Every structure is written in C-alpha cells, then in structure tokens.
Structure 1
C-alpha cells in the first residue's frame, strides 16, 4: 500500500501496462512512462524499480543536479526517477549512463508533463522505450468482465457473450466517477468532489508546469468548453468563440499546454484512400484524460446524465475511445476517427502495424434499430475504403455480444477486455 496522488491509501490495481513495462525493460536501457497525474504511473513503475528517487519532493535533488546530475542516478537498478521532467538535464544524463552500462532495463522515468521541445536535446532513440499510461479501463477496474477479447475480435474471431453485469445505471455511474485508481471504492459524491478539485488544480497549478503562467479562470473556461464538446470535432475557432476571451492563437497555445500535461488527448483523423471522390475530414476529435473529468467540469453526475442522454452518449463514446486506446496499445494499435465529406463516419478506427484496420461505431443504446443503423453506416464507409475487408464492430452500452448475419460484430462495453 502507498499514499496516492489524492492523499489516500491505495492498494495496487493490476494494469495492462504491467506487461508492456516488462517488455519495454527487456528491450531498452530506459523506459519513459507518461500520462496524467493520478493515473497510476508511479505505482506501476515502483513495482519494478529496485530504487526510487522522487524528484518533486526529495530536498537533496536540486543540490545534486547543480553539482553533478549523475549523482541522482546512483542507486540499485532499475532506478526510478519520478517526475523527471522537473530536471530536464537528467534526460541526457540517463542517456549517457545507458550508453556506458550497455545494458537493458537500467532506468524508469515517470512524468506528468512533457518537456518543451528544446528541453531535450537528444531523442534517446535506441536507448528509451516509451509507455503511455491512462486512467483505468473498465476491464482494469473490474467493471467489464473481459469475456470478449479485443485481440480476438481484431483477429477476426466472432464475439459471443451474454449481457454483462454492468447495466445502464452502473455504466452511467462509472462514467461519472471515472477510472482514477486512487478513487476506487469511494462513494460517488466523494469521488466527484475529488475530480472537481483535480480540475481546479489543473487550472491553478499544473498547467503552469507546461512553460509559463496562464490565467486560471480562462483555463477553466476553455476546459469547460472542451468538456461540452467532448468526442466531437470542435474547431479552434469554435472553442475561441465558446470561451469568449481568448484568440484562436491563444486557444491553440492553451490546448498545447493541456496536452503537454496529458489532460487532453486528441483523437486524430484517419488517413485512407477512398474509392469515391469524397474526402476525409482532418479535424481531430477532442477528449479529456477521463470522461469523468468532462462531467465534473460541466457540474454533472450520474443522475444528470440520465436526464441528458445526448451528452451521456458523447461521454460514452469518449469512454469507448479511451478503453480502445488502453486495450489496443499492447498490440501496437493506434486509435483514429474518420468522417468523409458526404457525412459517412466511423467513431473509432484501430490501425494495426500490419496495416489492417478495424472500424467501431459507438452507441449507448442497444436496440435492434440502433444497431441496424450503426452496422449499415459501418458497411457503407468500409465499402468506400481501398483496403482488405476490415473488422467492423458496433460497441453498445449494454446487451449481449455476437456477430450479425451481415458480418458486423456487436460488443457490449461491459464485456470488452484485452
């Protein structure tokens, strides 16, 4: 047990990233683990570390760095440098140490802020492996039973599972409280209050770590604008109008700062060759680090989501994209979205290193009419892509998981696992 970022005692929750970390340590001299605060990076890394230095709280670090940065690296290995970006000089110090040792699995670096481009002079290619961590997926928090394997679905196996125990109300409650490891088991009101505090800390403290001081009230207004438009292709111009006090250039700079502290993670547009003259739109979809953060920013809870099913659908799509990212990452998969100039779209496209792709349409409801329309949309889009037959799947909020007669899969999010 340890004290987590929320100030509470927590027990370790096994992560999909555990296996990724083992593989990364076996192939690289150092592993960089990045992600938003309170997503579990330090706890995951510390379970593999032989020694740890917390650069944000250790009073000796600044003096050691001033005299000789390599002093910080002294200790049993793998050595964990927690919040390494507070002293960017350590990047090159670690790189040189890895070269000298000529051995894998020497260092673990965790960070909640990506350093500025000019802060890291050398890429670390060949020495550093990179691992992105996010908040808990439904499978990791045990809200999904994992009876349907994403790997198997991507391999073409038909899903087959009864309706999971996660029902509609349970799904809305999970969206509201999120996948923050340190909040697991807390009553919903306490979890929601903690997430609202987290949002305030982002605006008043954390964002300043991304380079310079920014007006906290403007940061909050921009994050609320993002929260209202979560899982949509909202443009910088629209965000500037919605926020009302920032120029488009300022909005871009604020978005970059929020991305550098991993509070937002855009879903880029997919690039593919179409058979028709239609063109693919290039605007990314906007997502926050966890759907619960979006709900906290607009002042809602699970009861409010039940009254506003349209917004619940936006947050559900963001949740599915989040979980697809977590589950597809060990497979080398990246998650995009696609929409062409005729309006045909796919909510999520998982692109694998082999070039194969899979399309996912996300629907909170699971009625036959909803699934029929979603499946038809997926087939129409896929028919216009110059590629081998992809795996097509409708992800629903509830219900059974199966393959339809037309070859389109239907999978309930509460059944999805690695």
Structure 2
C-alpha cells in the first residue's frame, strides 16, 4: 500500500521549500512535488535576492504580517546553515522636489508598520554614505535593515534540510488531477499517485491552475515580468547600500543594488506578461535600465553589463497574499506571493503550519526537530552544487554570477 503523507506540498519555489521545511521540522511526514526538473525554477529563480524589512508594505496586510515574522528568524536560519548574507541597508532617493515631499510620508508609514529604524537623512549625510551617487538628489530615507542574500542557496538549504529530516522531494512530477478521499486527497501525477491528509498549494505562477484541480478558485494569476541588467563585481564599490526609488502604485520600482557577491544589478522592471514562462529580455528595456544606472550612479558609465535576466511575478487581482484554509477539502492555498516570497517565506510557512494544526486538526505523526546544522555545500562548476550527497542544479542568475571561488569563500 502506498504511503500516506501527513502533508503534500505542491510547488518547489522559495515558499514551497520554506513550507516543507517548517512542516517537517515540526514532525509532519511531508512530500514536496515540483513539476520542473529542478527546484527553484520559476518565479523564485528570477528575484532580486533582497530580504526586505516590510517598511513599505500595507499596514493591515497579510504580507506585512508574514514579512515581520520572517525577518528576524531568517537571520537565525542563515547563520545556522552557514549561508552568505550582508545587511547593507537601503537608501531611498528622491530625484525631484515632488518625490522629496513623499519621504516624510513614507517614513511615517514605516513607523506605523513598526519599522521605526527608517530615518530621513540630509543631503550631506546621503553623499557621505553614498559618494558615488549623482549630485542631483533632492532627499533620502535610510532603511538600515534591508539585506541581500543568495536566494537560491537559501531556498535549496531549506528544502535540503527538510530532506535530511525525513521529507521526500520529487521533481519532474506534474500534478494532473486531485481526487478527494475519505481522509484527505489523492494526487495523480506524471510519476504516480500520492495521498496526503492535507495538501498545501504553493504552486506560484500556476497556483490558480493547481487550485482548479481541486475545484477551487480563490484568485487568478496575471503574470508580471521584471527585467534586470547585471554589472561585474568590480563595480560593487560604487554603492554601499541598495538604492531605491520612490515607490509607485505598481511597487518598489527599479532598484540599483549589489548582490551578496558584489555584482551591481539594475532592475526589476514591472511589465505585463502574456506568458507564465520566463520570457527573454529585450534590448530596448535593458538599454533603458543601463541609462538609469548611469544617470543615478555615474561611475557605471562605460562599464559593459555581464548578464541580463528576467523574473515573472505571480501577481493576482489584489496586492496582498492569498492564504486560504479549506478544512472540508483538506486543502490550504498559498497564492499571490508577488515579489516578497523570500521576505515572507518563513512567516508564510508558520501561518500554514498553524492552519493545518488549528483548522484541519492534523497533529504531526513524527517528532519535532528544529535544530539548525551547517550545510556541507560544494560548488561544482558551472551550474551544480552538492549538498551532502545530493546534487542540485543552480537555477538563479545571482548565484551563477558569483564565481565558484567567491561562493566557496562564503560557505
């Protein structure tokens, strides 16, 4: 008779990896199903690698709740696993008087959200902190907590730790249909049938499709594309923090930041996308990003970019997360995690665990093991990494852009 899992997680992006780690660490017998050949292959393979404080999230949002839970805990996780991160902070820069008038409003909003460390700084202090910026700034806000991480290593470490604590992970496994059983759900996949007492849908860009298989419809995905231009690590000295624009109704805007490995990146854009698959970059948009970078950071002028990449956000009809518990269907939906999946991942996982325990009344069948142990990671050029004795394919451009020497020096 086939195994019956306490929990089946559908989707192996950062959120799915965090959820299977959280559930396994608390004693649940878990299975993670990913339709692609490799984990972290879709939305989570095209993010910025920035761990946000939530300073600009809506004060009454589920997103802010999850980010605030994640932020302090993620440092414990990265330290415990021995992963690279740099708390370089962020500087929001106003380039016009109209934008400068927004700085106090944003500072007050962050205070209400509980991020009291955000402070307005004078122009002299701005240029003391960021001498490489254009001298046309009109105002600035300093956000000290903003952090850069390796997003691929973070996600894979969570999944791998779940695996070494007993979780089963199956890739290249597409969920094709869902059949409600007396005690849960049977998932028919491209690689066999699996039964779980509770299914957690972390399908990302295909989250609405997975919901439909269970006869549910909480949201619809309207994908948004983001493009990035990547500069070499030797340009990392030009900025000391992530340089943010004044946000708009669409989001944070196009950022100039450096990765945990020192590459300077400009992006992402916010564009409509007619596909959920990762589209290619277009030269016109990349050139515009290059001009933006050179305008804000003159030292970038004349420096060729070394890479470009795109990401696709699983946006929905609303800006907030869609996390729904349906006990009668033995189902939890986690959807609409637009661009803060990394920043909200551990908070999302914690919320899901409590929903499974409180709403579904499902107790773990095993014992709790929340111990954090350093990862034994060996990088194998050009695109693989060995975690203990398990090989993973590196799917994120930020990780790929760091040299093997650079990666090894951080681990």
- Alignment TM-score > 0.5, same fold: no
TM-score for the superposition, normalised by structure 1 = 0.26
Greater percentage in helix: 1
**More RCO (CA 8 Å, sep 6+):** 2
Greater percentage in strand: 2
